[in-house]
Structure 1
Amino acid sequence: MTSIRFDGRVAIVTGAGNGLGRVHALELARRGAKVVINDFGGSRDGTGGSTSAAQAVVDEIRAAGGTAIANGANVTDFEQVQAMVAQAKAEFGRVDILINNAGILRDKTFSKMEMADFRMVLDVHLMGSVHCTKAVWELMREQNYGRILMTTSSSGLFGNFGQSNYGAAKMALVGLMHMLTIEGKKNNIRVNTIAPMAATRMTEDVLPAAMLDSIKPEQVTPGALVLVSEDAPSKVTLSAGGGSFSTARIVDTAPVWLSSDECTLEGLAAHFAQIADWDSARPYDDSNQQVHALIQAAMAGMEA
């Protein structure tokens, strides 16, 4: 089995002062990457701030013989993020890998949630990832190489009680991946998402203690690093937890054409089971393929 290395590569990992980000960064450094350890140093809900957590990870990497620098940029502030990328380029000359891992939680039912809490979670997870990705995008285009990882969640993919803000942000990142995969292809920029399940401060009071003992961040990191390696795929959503891995994707059932007589509320309701037949489901490379399938079904129906 060939060893996967990151020698000569420069990586930025956000939210790397603790949890998954820390383990991702340590393993990247162990495998030869130069790493920017970004962490705003806030609490789980995003309040506060300190660079001590980021610096502690840098010290750990350097003690093991690796190369790393700390950065305390708040990913919700685009100017700070741009300065972070400028620091990485000044220090290391390039940026090859971006792992968007920073996140916060402000869980409440939708009926009780304040709009400020909804907006803040979107700002950190979604706009934080947008800011960091935008800041490295032209660098990666110029060097014709880039690997970007978004961090999504089963809450976004499938839903979870009390996390409307978090789930909305996490599903939006899958959509962002779809777009950037298409736009980055000609410049060898590959974009993926990972849906992790691990014992971190984000999950310490969400999951049962027995489960937390069996889902370590170290069991997720292999998935994250494969998705930012030189031979990484693109447009993949990888679920990872406890040493188990699966892939998730958005699929569409085969279109069912309704004649003018049937294309009514009642006609649609009568055919709904056929329309929602998941045995006919298939993925698409882009939206054009889905539009084409709808048009093709309509044309075939009209010609019949």
Structure 2
Amino acid sequence: MDKKGYNTKGRGGGNVNEGGDGDKWSRWWWGLSHRKSAPSEESSNSNQVQRSPSQSKSPKQKIRISSRSDKLPFYYQNWFLVLLTLMSLSCFAFALFVFLYLYPDSIESSPSSTSPASSEVVEITYGTVLKLMHEKTKFRLHSHEVPYGSGSGQQSVTGFPDVEDSNSYWIIRPQPGTSAKQGDPIKSGTIIKLQHMRTRRWLHSHWFSSPISGNQEVSCFGGDSESDTGDLWRLLIEGSGNIWRKDQRIRLQHADTGVYLHSHNKKYSRIAGGQQEVCGVQDKRAENIWLAAEGVYLPVNGSE
């Protein structure tokens, strides 16, 4: 003990000196600072631990959002175009329905429904009902109960532009006094008659002038019980083949006068406005060529 009665020895029996007190305070300060710094390190570690999940999640969230927008269906991203397309298809379907409902005969009366298939070789026989198409202008040989205002005054014959007109049908008949009958094929050079189906008159020609060009007049004349030699026409097939077929080009030569059935683009302007003149000419021309078109084609005898 010192003079004042204080114990100067440490717990371990050692002497307590100035160096010992310094060590004591230094240890106390180190412990205090260590205790204060530990929470800060722990908090920093905890912050790091807490921050890392958020940092690790944010890229995933961004990737997830971008991938959602990329995977949206086309009709979500372009809804206006899809709506416009659907409206267009609906309007087309409605228009088609209205057309078929209001005009059902337009399909049934088309040329393909009244004529044989183009791929078949169809022979034209007596009794066939057909339209003759002028090759150059595509008009059909036509007649109606309208007389010529000049010449013979008989029933007029014209070229008609409308394919559907029923006044353009003609029946192929044999020359009277022959053994030919309905269903027989017709050879080139044969004399035939053409009867207008609606009025029952015969395709006819004689020594009168046609109204527009002044060529020989072609008319319709007579009936079932009335006919003469002016109603006879010789069938002449152009090109190869001796039997009249649907795909062959033909000429019709008037038996009495020798003229060829002819038409051109000279048109009437009054009663038969828009229809073109049909007449007879003496020489062969490109405007003399005719083709069998729409019609009801009878089978050849013995073919079925």
TM-score by length of 2: 0.22
Q: Give the helix-richer structure, 1 or 2.
A: 1
**Higher CA-based Rg:** 2
Q: Please report the TM-score for the alignment, with normalisation by the length of structure 1.
A: 0.22
Q: Which has the higher strand share?
A: 2
